[in-house]
Amino acid sequence: MPEIEARIGDSQLMNIRIERWGTTRFSGLIGLQERGNGIYYILLDATGVKLMEALVKEDGNHELVRAHGSLKDTQLPEFLSASLQKIYLLEPDTLPCSRTFLLRFCMEKSEDNHWHKYAQAGPFSLWSVSYAENHNAKCPASSFSQPWIGVKVILTQSSQLN
């Protein structure tokens, strides 16, 4: 991404909050590590208990390494992998936008100097990512949303490592 480092680098521990229609459905920590052309991640609850670990590849495929209890029977591993792929791995073929038929995929800098990445099908927003730049962080805070299903994933710098 131009002028903003949205790659993970070595390893990063971040706060994660998943909301559905404005209600927090999950809050905890996520450990991220760049591996080749993908991201290895560990999802932890608020007390630090490991709930899930997986590897998401640049093409969106993911490999669930381990999931705690009934978590492996939910759609959370696939959803979280797809969200992380859009936040960290996907970029348009050309900046600021690329287009395929009705699908428009863009990454633009807003008037307040924050990056915004989004996909639209015609006039409808499929998903979007907003980045809040923090020059002291390896990874910027980000917010991924899918407005048509009311889901938002918010990643912020964990104060536990600062």
Every domain of the chain and the residues it spans: 11-157
Distance CA 149, CA 136 (A): 33
Q: What is the dotted CATH code of the domain comprising 11-157?
A: 2.50.20
Whether the predicted pLDDT of 7 surpasses 70 = no
Predicted pLDDT of residue 140:
67
Average pLDDT of the residues in 32-58: 92
Contact call for residues 153 and 144 (beta carbons, < 8 A): yes
Distance CA 33, CA 39 (A): 6
Whether the predicted pLDDT of 136 surpasses 60 = no
Predicted pLDDT of residue 143:
92
Contacts of 28 (CB under 8 A, 6+ apart): 15, 16, 43, 44, 45, 46, 51
Whether the predicted pLDDT of 28 surpasses 60 = yes
Whether the predicted pLDDT of 3 surpasses 70 = no
- The helix (H) or strand (E) run that includes residue 82 is helix 76-84
More confident residue, 83 or 95: 83
